[in-house]
């Protein structure tokens, strides 16, 4: 399945997306539940995975098909870090 952001740009694995709430998520290839592949974002609790020594095999995803792609745009990952730094200085 092909996904495009609100500007019509094709989304591929490894890109970062900014959602309507301002959150930024990395795009992964994941299972579509029917022996195929689709794109999704991380749904796993990172702290839980680290504490329990779980690797990428145990990562869970929210498929992009669950989201309104008219509210999503491709962005750079540095923007999240910049926003985090700006917020922590307030």
Q: Quick check: 72 and 18 in contact, CB under 8 A?
A: yes
How long is the chain? Answer: 90
Q: Quick check: 22 and 53 in contact, CB under 8 A?
A: no
Banded model confidence at residue 21, pLDDT cuts 50, 70, 90: very high
In this predicted structure, the answer to whether residue 85 has a pLDDT above a threshold of 50 is no
The model carries a pTM of 0.78
Q: For residue 3, give the DSSP letter.
A: E
In this predicted structure, the answer to whether residue 87 has a pLDDT above a threshold of 70 is no
Residue 32: strand, helix, or coil: coil
Distance of alpha carbon 2 from alpha carbon 6, whole angstroms: 13
The CB density around residue 80, as the number of other CB atoms within 10 Å, is 17
Worst-scoring range by mean pLDDT, 3-17, 50-64, 76-90?
A: 76-90
């Amino acid at each position: 399945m092909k996904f495009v952001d609100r500007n019509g740009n094709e989304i591929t694995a490894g890109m970062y997306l900014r959602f309507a709430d301002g959150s930024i998520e990395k795009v992964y290839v994941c299972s579509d539940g029917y022996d195929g592949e689709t794109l999704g974002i991380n749904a796993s609790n990172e702290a839980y995975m680290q504490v329990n020594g779980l690797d990428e095999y145990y990562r869970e995803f929210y498929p992009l098909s669950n989201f309104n792609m008219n509210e999503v745009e491709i962005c750079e990952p540095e923007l999240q870090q910049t926003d985090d730094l700006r917020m922590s200085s307030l």
